Structure 1
Amino acid sequence: MRDSHQENDKRKQKDVEKYKVWTLAESNELQKLMVDAATHEWRDSNGLLSKTTIERKILPALNDCQRTYPQCRSRLKWFKQRYNNFPQLIRHSSGCG
């Protein structure tokens, strides 16, 4: 029984070690790169950035941050959630502040 608890603790510790928190500077740099990607029309026919585009053009610019594609994708989802909150906030604003 004790061995299984130790194994679970080791797995949790390894998962925590894999996670790297995004700093404000890294987030800002990723945002700038996303804007550049949109202005340079690096998007595919669906209007989305493909995995190869992100790996070849955006991640090398973030190379000093040592980020991977899944980490970048996760941060882009985070940006999207924050962006979607603003129209909802403005829509439900009564003007009183």
Structure 2
Amino acid sequence: MYLVAIAWAYVALMMAAAEALSPQGTVFGALVTLMLYGVLPLRLLMYILGTPGRKRRRRAAESAAEADAGGHAPAGPAQGLAPEREEA
């Protein structure tokens, strides 16, 4: 996944550099080229390719929340209270 993104970013950067260094090109045109051919498609691609990971993390969080909501008392001292100390 990252190899495709790195390669696409390289190609878009080279296109923007060619636009900026061309006699008819401008720096503004290079920035537009970089945004429209590089940044925006890469963000969309990474969002789409990251969907399975997001689903997996959401399911893991939901299953952890269900396990915690079992109605059992928490282990250890009660919610930040120190145990009472007996004096001799």
The TM-score, its normalising length taken from structure 1, stands at 0.30
* CA radius of gyration, larger in: 2
The TM-score, its normalising length taken from structure 2, stands at 0.32
RCO higher in structure (CA 8 A, sep ≥6): 2
